[in-house]
Amino acid sequence: AARRSGKPAPPGMLVALRDVTFTTARIDGIAAPLRVEARVQFADANGSLYAFSVSADGVPLASGRVPVMTTPP
């Protein structure tokens, strides 16, 4: 929502990781750049829920969901 409005996203706190799946035990040996994608699944004045994925050279490395609680200004 912040990106669509042209405003920066409000400060927030990552409160948990949910449904996380890893397809590799370590990422320090991966030479390719990591690609991190996050998609908003839900957002309101109290926070947001994002689905995320991490890959390198098109190979999935991790995925899951991240709730973010909006912190008061």
Retrieve residue 17's tokens. 């990781």
Inter-residue contact 52 to 29 (CB < 8 Å): no
pLDDT reported for residue 4: 64
pLDDT reported for residue 6: 74
Burial (Cβ within 10 Å: 0-12, 13-18, ≥19) of residue 73: exposed
Q: Which of 1-5, 11-15, 23-27 has the weakest average pLDDT?
A: 1-5
Q: What is the tens place of the pLDDT at every residue in 14-73?
A: 999 999 999 999 999 999 999 999 999 998 888 999 999 999 999 999 999 999 998 776
Inter-residue contact 62 to 21 (CB < 8 Å): yes
